[in-house]
Amino acid sequence: MADSSAARRRDDDARPSAERTIARSAQLDTVIHERTRLAIVSALAANERLGFVELKTLLDLTDGNLSAHARKLEDAGYVRALKSFEGRVPRTEYELTPEGRDALQRYVEHMEALIRIARGG
C-alpha cells in the first residue's frame, strides 16, 4: 500500500503545474457553474447593478427562473438583492458582492487552467 501511494505522489509531482493545481483544488463551484447562475454573475460583474427586469430581459429568463437562481446566489452570499419602491411599484436590483466577485475570479481561473490542459499546454 505504501509503495502505491508513494508512486501516486511521484506521478502527481510529474504533472504539469496547472494540472496539479486542478487535481488538488476543490471541485468546481457548482453554485456558479450552472449556466444561468454563471450568466447572472457575469452580467453583474460587468455592471455595477442591474434591475430585475433588466436582468430578465438581458438573459431571456422567466420571472420564476430568475428569482430561483438569484435566490441561490443570494444564499451563497454571491449576490445582494436591493429592494425599493418607485412610487408604489416595487423594484429589485441586484449587485455582485465581494465574495461573488472572488468566487467568479476563482471559477474563471479554474476554467482557464482546464482549457490550458485540454490544449496540451
For residues 14 and 57, give the distance between their C-alpha atoms in angstroms, rounded to a whole number: 48
C-alpha cell at 116: 490550458
Question: Per-residue confidence at 17, pLDDT binned at 50, 70, 90?
Answer: low
Rg (CA), the chain: 19
- Determine if the pTM surpasses 0.85: no
| CATH level 3 topology of 29-118 | Arc Repressor Mutant, subunit A (1.10.10)
The 10s digit of each residue's pLDDT in 96-119 is 999 999 999 999 999 998 888 888
